[in-house]
Amino acid sequence: MIVGGGAAGTAAAAALRERGFGGRVLLIDRETDAGYDRTVLSKFVIAGEMPPEEVPSLRDEAFYREQRIERINAEVTSLDAASKTLRLADGQSLPYDAALLATGGTPKPLRLPGADLPQVFVLRSKNHAQQILDNAKPGQRAVIIGDSFIAMESASSLRQYGLDVTVLAHQPVPFARQFGETVGKAILALHEANGVVFQTQGEATQIEGTIKVEAVLLDNGQRLPADLVLVGIGVSPATGPFADLLQEKDHSLRVDGGMRVTDGLWAAGDIATFPLSGRPLRIEHWRLAQQQARIAAANMLGGDEHYLDVPYFWTWHFGKNYDYLGHAEAWDEVEFKGDPFNPPFIGLFGKNGVVTAAVACEEERTMAMLAERMKQPLSVDEAWRLIRE
């Protein structure tokens, strides 16, 4: 049983068959469409560069048919781990031998007066993207609340689509926590050079309008005129149906190194807090979700696999792709080859002489090499020697 048909769920279903499992595989998903590439929604779809109906599926219909993977469009309402049973919204109870929970994240809602106006959007699905495109027109004014990766990618896309875009940011420099101040400032400069207005003063207190959005009001008295509002303030783990399981403060599920929650039950992707370098972390990366799911699938079949890879993600802004490897929450040195304000460049973050993360633009081959070498501790000096070879 796999709950969730996104990146993790689809990867797990495929891995079960690849590893020779011949039994029944049920894939339960809230969305009617088979799993698709959500990463393109903020990068290309709402930029008008890819119609929602052309968003790539993770696997075609023939795959599910040929691999005998039963897709069920349903909502799971509860799970009893002791009796290994799932309950669906229609009242059905489904027993399982092994289950993977891969329900992903739910966009955090904006809890403000006016947030229920029809031109206030989140972006998580093809339907959301279609709603935005149905309402967005070149020349309109968009206010984006939040400076998350989804928020900033959406700012780039809506600006390219021809809207005037203002980002109401929480931080003075976007992505400084992940990429450091220098790269954050470079991405901010790229946005501003393309006409995005980055607003760091004031918190939204109300969305003004009667039947449609007219403006966003701030606590400092400012009024930002708007035709549409996009909310990008992060996601929460979609673990509501699993209230009987022990949850972390952020409502994620703690798993061990093999992605196991408890006997017969695994979790992967946005809902999983897993051990990385000895610390419990929850990382919302597309590729990581797929890697975790494949590990879970192996262990559902009696294996003993653990995550030994290097987390990776990419973000796209005004035609430039930024790659990130590793996970650095703190560093004591950072050094660049090239100029983040004028790519190509690569930057290394080090802690106690060891590389903890790398960020780059237009350095794909170098990053691919580092992705392999960083699977083992890699000294900063050795990394620079490899890069400069």
Examine domains 2-106+235-300 and 111-231 and report if their fold is the same. Answer: yes
Whole-angstrom distance, CA of residue 32 vs CA of residue 336: 45
Q: Distance (Å, rounded) from C-alpha 160 to C-alpha 213?
A: 21
Q: Are 216 and 204 in contact (CB under 8 A)?
A: yes
pLDDT at 33: 86
Where in the chain are the domains?
2-106+235-300, 111-231, 328-388
The span from the CA of 34 to the CA of 58, in Å, is 8
Per the structure block, which two tokens stand in for 68? 């005998």
Question: What is the spatial distance between Cα 267 and Cα 255, in angstroms, rounded to a whole number?
Answer: 7
CA angle 369, 287, 296 (to 5 degrees): 115
CB of 282 closer than 8 Å to CB of 253: no
CATH says 2-106+235-300 is which class? alpha beta
Q: What percent of the chain has pLDDT over 90?
A: 97
DSSP 184-223: HHHHHHHHHHTT-EEE-S--EEEEE-SSS--EEEETTS-E
Q: Are 331 and 356 in contact (CB under 8 A)?
A: yes
pLDDT at 321: 97
CATH fold, domain 111-231, is FAD/NAD(P)-binding domain (3.50.50)
H/E stretch holding 153:
helix 149-160
* HEC assignment per residue over 9-44: HHHHHHHHHHCCCCCCEEEEECCCCCCECCHHHHHH
pLDDT recorded at residue 287: 93
Query: For 169-222, what is each residue's pLDDT tens digit?
Result: 999 999 999 999 999 999 999 999 999 999 999 999 999 999 999 999 999 999
Segment 303-331, tens digit of pLDDT? 999 999 999 999 999 999 999 999 998 99
Nearest Cα to Cα of residue 142 among 168, 124, 113, 116: 168
Under the banding of pLDDT at 50, 70 and 90, the label for residue 50 is very high
Residue 247: strand pairing partners: 253
Interval 91-139: pLDDT, tens: 999 999 999 999 999 999 999 999 999 999 999 999 999 999 999 999 9
Note the pLDDT of residue 329.
87
Q: How confident is the model at residue 389 (pLDDT cuts 50, 70, 90)?
A: confident
Specify the pLDDT at position 32: 87
Over residues 151-176, the pLDDT tens digits come to 999 999 999 999 999 999 999 999 99
Is residue 343 within a helix (H) or strand (E), and if so which, with residue range? Answer: strand 342-351
CA 292 to chain centre: 14
Measure the CA–CA gap between 25 and 11, rounded to whole angstroms.
Answer: 13
How confident is the model over 330-384, as pLDDT tens digits? 999 999 999 999 999 999 999 999 999 999 999 999 999 999 999 999 999 999 9
Instruction: Note if the pTM is more than 0.85.
Output: yes
Mean pLDDT in the chain?
96
Residue type, 227: D
| Structure tokens, 16 | 């079960």
